[in-house]
Amino acid sequence: MPTPPTAGSAPRAPRPSRRSVLAAMAAAVPAASLPVLSGRASAASAAGALPGGGDLGPNVLVFDPATPNIQGTLDEIFKRQESAQFGEGRFALLFKPGTYRGLNAQIGFYTSIAGLGLSPGDTTFHGDVTVDAGWFNGNATQNFWRSAENLTLHPVNGTNRWAVAQAAPFRRMHIKGGLNLAPDGYGWASGGYIADSRIDGSVAPYSQQQWYTRDSSVGGWNNAVWNMVFSGVEGAPAQSFPDPPYTTLDTTPVSREKPFLYLDGTDYKVFLPEKRTNARGTTWGSGTPRGESLPLGRFYVAKSGVDAATLNAALAQGLNLLLTPGIYHLDRPVEVRRPNTVVLGLGYPTLVPDNGATAMKVADVDGVRLAGFLIDAGPVNSATLLEVGPEGASADHAANPTTVQDVFIRIGGAGPGKATTSMVINSNHTLIDHTWVWRADHGDGVGWETNRADYGVRVNGDDVLATGLFVEHFNKYDVEWRGERGRTVFFQNEKAYDAPNQAAIQNGDIKGYAAYKIADGVTAHEGWGLGSYCYYNVDPTIRQDHGFQAPAKPGVKLHHLLVVSLGGKGQYEHVINSIGAPTSGTSTVPSTVVSYP
């Protein structure tokens, strides 16, 4: 392999916290030469066809325990990415099975770190994988777009720090110690998501406003601020919302873990975990995970700069897509039409529709898996950015649903962007497992009309389940649910900060658009652990009638709802419909409803 280049305070009680509104972040440092390790190329395909497998590209770095100066390489990547919130650098740091000692992998923007074993125990760090907020003066509320996956950690001081905000998944991790979710100094924090992980010690969220943990095992959970939700978590605290604000489901109704790249000997493969119902605990704690593997030769390994026509040609000839780190500009949608297609990203590859196109459309077929990429709205308005199933989709996918996992959408921030509706789910039984759909409140190209985006997530399909739904700042409804028998486990929202006045958000005779609206005709829906915050800093006199709107029908049931006015910048009159006390003053204390109806 090429030689890489050289390059705890005591806990205290949490205090109320809020997201701050700040200026655009620093641009990325230009990339320098970095080591590359190629994937194994498949045999040549038929003449004229695109090949499967091949080189993993310049921004996928693969290490083994004998690699010289691993720490120097990690430090160089972090130096570039630490504050590059809207930069173009993208990196995947992959570690072959083995034992690594003395490492502290600090993870910045658009950086993914992962082990290449089939189980977390195959790749072990006697060291740390760290996210902190020194770049932002101890404020972790903007530590977005990064991930850790498939590693076992023995933290140096017994506790690993993972102080993240939205879009920063922590999957298939085994921590032989504790996990601290707050930045050094216990500053503001607004996260986050854990799945399929085991933390032997206690998880300490401290200042984290909210968190969702799914199908995992924890040795303890130390405290809560506003909204801590657990489903299928061994060792989770007992349900006690609102004091403390724990929402605990014994199992997760349906789950299927994210696909991941691993090494089988010297061959790269992608593992596809099987679907579980009423899941509890990790998929890997009792031996080899259950699922199937696909060789890399069945994937078109895409590099930054490839166009939509090429991606569609690869899909049409039966290949899956492995998107390596980079920016992909699209002049037409990527069309996923074949059942069981996998579209897997490494290191936050970013799809940008330049001319008002939809970035990706999925047919109404079984078993598509979308995972690990970002869609960035382009400067020309797109009607939609991601469509799962066409309008009117009606097929039954209960046995083999489509999954949308760690797929994040952004409108503005990295530059001007517009989209009428960001994510549309038309296919029945779709699983949305961790998404952050964000109309930017800071960065470049931000303004009430500049990055106009009326609707965040619209669900038309029936029997759709969302586990870890983060949707923020849309001009109208953040989530609009029209399908029957929908379910959401954990929802986090902030209303648009930048509404210029009350008239701009008026919804007929209702003050403001609900963060989460269940359509009037829906007869069955259920949700657990749902929160909405407002921070109308442009016009603090704005009043929002409610955070949630739902029909009064016996089959519509919502559990553990809260609304919060951040510092008194705007207020909610109620929590859901006309139920629940108003928020009051500048106290930043939630108003809660334990059960609706």
**Burial group, residue 140, by CB count within 10 angstroms (0-12, 13-18, 19+):** buried
Beta bridge partners of 248: 230
In the chain, how long is the greatest CA-to-CA distance? 70
d(CA 125, CA 156): 10
- Told to judge if 494 belongs to the known catalytic residues of this protein, a careful annotator would answer yes
156 and 419 in contact (C-beta within 8 Å)?
A: no
440 and 411 in contact (C-beta within 8 Å)?
A: yes
CA–CA distances in Å: residue 279 to residues 123, 216, 274, 540, 566 = 25, 10, 11, 44, 35
DSSP 561-579: EEEEESTTSSEES-SBTTB
36 and 56 in contact (C-beta within 8 Å)?
A: yes
Which of 256, 146, 150, 130 minimizes the C-alpha distance to 193?
A: 146
The two tokens of residue 66 are 């004998």
The two tokens of residue 561 are 């709802």
d(CA 371, CA 239): 31
107 and 131 in contact (C-beta within 8 Å)?
A: yes
Residue 268's identity, in one-letter code, is Y
d(CA 11, CA 8): 8
d(CA 549, CA 575): 9
Integer distance in angstroms from the first to the last C-alpha of the chain?
A: 62
d(CA 374, CA 408): 5
Query: Which of the following is catalytic: 149, 257, 387, 494?
Result: 494
566 and 534 in contact (C-beta within 8 Å)?
A: yes
CA–CA distances in Å: residue 229 to residues 70, 204, 212, 241 = 37, 14, 5, 10
List of residues 6+ apart from 552 with CB closer than 8 A? 577, 597
The two tokens of residue 87 are 């930069």
d(CA 224, CA 232): 18
> Catalytic site residues?
494
